[in-house]
Structure 1
């Protein structure tokens, strides 16, 4: 594992979520913040629109106990009066434009941080894992050369993924960790994630890549840092003797793939 020196300010912001205007933190935290902002604004706009509509419906209601002479109802085809030369319309459109532009700018700045793999570079504890897609499985290659079909990573650590493909277009994604990146033959794409708690997740391929596409999954195991370091210390390159048993974990999936995929299309 990369040396565990003291984390910089970036690491503090990364694991606490930050407190500035543009949210910082894990990918899940950032996307949750974006969802919350859109939800709050959507509810606020809905309350204003529906409230104004309800007010006018009540004001212009018909009923035996309502004095029609007290209310000057608009007539069909009648131009609105008292608009002060379009001032209300200008203010309404101006406020809407400011809100929309501000929301777009804020979201763009937030996504710049989320989609920038270099945002993990300041953390000396970060680890880098190569993700290689192939019909119809994923291979994870660690800095020491160890290969596995199970992605293992420690908690509270920047995990930098370098994604590529050895045959056709794939797309690597872990929905619970808000990770998604293209796997393109002859090219590499980069992404990152941080997991807060130990657990098991499922990685999927999100690019239709052949007859075994629906079986192109992989396990993602998030471990406590001490447990991960102990496991990593016992791994080696493919020609070594140590391993993690990942192939046994996905044996049933591989068997199913063999039945549905073309013989020349299966790789591990």
Structure 2
């Protein structure tokens, strides 16, 4: 956890140098930092290259080398300051790379561990061919629809009833494997209400392309009102029972499966 880091490593967390917030916000900051540094390094390298190309252009007189001053293999050229430029550029590159790796590690450590929030919503996710089943803390189960409140961390415990799947919500930067016989954990926080799509990102059979679910992010008060009317006995999603949804998914799998040929066999 972040609180278990050494004081020197925890300083960037306390000073705000490492971004905190939703997964989407954190990954956006990582992208912006890499884009900024990549652009800066590219400008410096290309600019220095163009400067030297112009400085030592043909006809400038600066590219001419006397026979007695030709370079010798294994020796540093005279007037180069004993390799000062080389060591300076190496040191600066080392500082940039180490700083970037450390900052990225601390950021991804937060993404991996998740926010320390006792008010998070715990939801169990089970994949099957070809759909997603969600179980809430009170035992209520929905099939194909996940309802969560906005501005509240959601902890997902993911598994599968059959083959390998991968649960992902692209817009919320959520992605985790669903492994038979095992459980994986991930989290997300949606900062505003809306409807998102969860898909399977592991090729799992003929109905893989149809394996999706709706993720409905509701205002906190509306979610509490909806959740208060749910129990473990009225497990429905959009008016359809779980068994009915599973049957519908099976029908989808059968519809996309290759159909046997009805043409009579040709006997030679």
TM-score of the aligned structures, taking structure 2 as reference length: 0.79
Match of 1:141 among 135, 139, 160: 135
Match of 2:94 among 76, 93, 97: 97
Quote how far apart the aligned CAs of 1:68 are. Answer: 2.8
- Residue aligning to 2:238: 245
Structure 1 Cα separation of the partners of residues 15 and 130 of structure 2: 42
1:191 counterpart SS class: strand
- Residue aligning to 2:213: 218
Q: Is 1:30–2:30 an aligned residue pair? A: no
2:185 counterpart SS class: strand
Q: Is 1:203–2:198 an aligned residue pair? A: yes
Alignment of 1:69-88 (within 5 A): 69=61, 71-73=62-64, 78=71, 80-88=77-85
Q: Name structure 1 gaps, 5 residues minimum.
A: 1-16, 263-268
- Residue aligning to 2:157: 162
2:236 counterpart SS class: coil
Quote how far apart the aligned CAs of 1:198 are. Answer: 0.7
* Larger Rg belongs to: 2
Q: Name structure 2 gaps, 5 residues minimum.
A: 1-12, 259-268
Structure 2 Cα separation of the partners of residues 253 and 199 of structure 1: 26
Contact 1:212–1:257, Cα closer than 8 Å, also in 2? yes
Quote how far apart the aligned CAs of 1:190 are. Answer: 0.6
Q: Is 1:127–2:111 an aligned residue pair? A: no
Quote how far apart the aligned CAs of 1:180 are. Answer: 0.7
Quote how far apart the aligned CAs of 1:84 are. Answer: 2.1
Aligned length: 235
2:206 counterpart SS class: coil
TM-score of the aligned structures, taking structure 1 as reference length: 0.79
- Residue aligning to 2:227: 232
- Residue aligning to 1:68: 60
CA change 1:24–1:73 in 2 (3 A) is: farther
Q: Is 1:111–2:103 an aligned residue pair? A: no
Map Cα deviations across residues 74-107 of structure 1 (whole Å, 9 max, x no partner): 79x8464422222211121121122112111111
Structure 1 Cα separation of the partners of residues 238 and 226 of structure 2: 11
